[in-house]
Amino acid sequence: MVTEQLFLAQLNQHLGIAYRIGQAYQPEPDERADLVQEMIYQLWRSYPSFTGQAKFSTWMYRVCLNTALMAQRTARKRPTNPLVAWHEQIPDPPPDDREQAIQELFEAIALLSPLNKAIVLLYLDDLSYEEIATITGLSKTNVSVRLVRIKKELKSRLPVNPTTL
């Protein structure tokens, strides 16, 4: 019971990690919700193996990224038949400029390779190069070089250069 409470407390503290990874790896809202749910399930399933040698958030990133990558691989293998909407849909309100810029950034991130996508998400969450290296299995130097290249690639894909990168 204590383990369950500790897991839930840590999960709730870092739940944004799963949502950000879900948004980067799955553009469709319903599919994204399924992916986040799968991430949470995989976190719970693998929690007994969490030894505490790394921070919980570092371990959570690794599990969530692996889950997202596995979901991408399996999605490529099975054919998809889109559902046809037979009902009227209420249009979404137009996004404000900040929301539009964030949406464009996530669309550009979605076009990156899976590893570069993971690196930039970790960077945007203010993780240190050392933490990013630990999560991705790369060296700190490789993380640094990749981030320079990723920033250039994102700037070339965005209509307005983001000031956050």
What CATH number belongs to 1-77? 1.10.1740.10
pTM assigned to the model: 0.66
Which ranges in the chain are annotated with CATH 1.10.10? 98-165
Question: What string of pLDDT tens digits covers the 165 residues of the chain?
Answer: 668 899 999 999 999 999 999 988 888 889 999 999 999 999 999 999 998 888 999 999 999 999 999 988 887 776 666 655 555 566 666 667 788 888 888 888 989 998 999 999 999 888 999 999 999 999 999 999 999 999 999 999 887 545 544
From the CB of residue 22, how many other CB atoms can be counted at a distance below 10 Å?
24
Which ranges in the chain are annotated with CATH 1.10.1740.10? 1-77
| pLDDT of the residue at 3 | 80
With 0-12 / 13-18 / 19 or more C-beta atoms within 10 angstroms meaning exposed / middle / buried, residue 11 is middle
| pLDDT of the residue at 79 | 64
Alpha-carbon Rg for the chain in angstroms = 17
| pLDDT of the residue at 82 | 60
Reported CATH class of domain 98-165: mainly alpha
Do 105 and 22 touch, CB atoms closer than 8 A? no
Residue with tokens 């998400």: 121
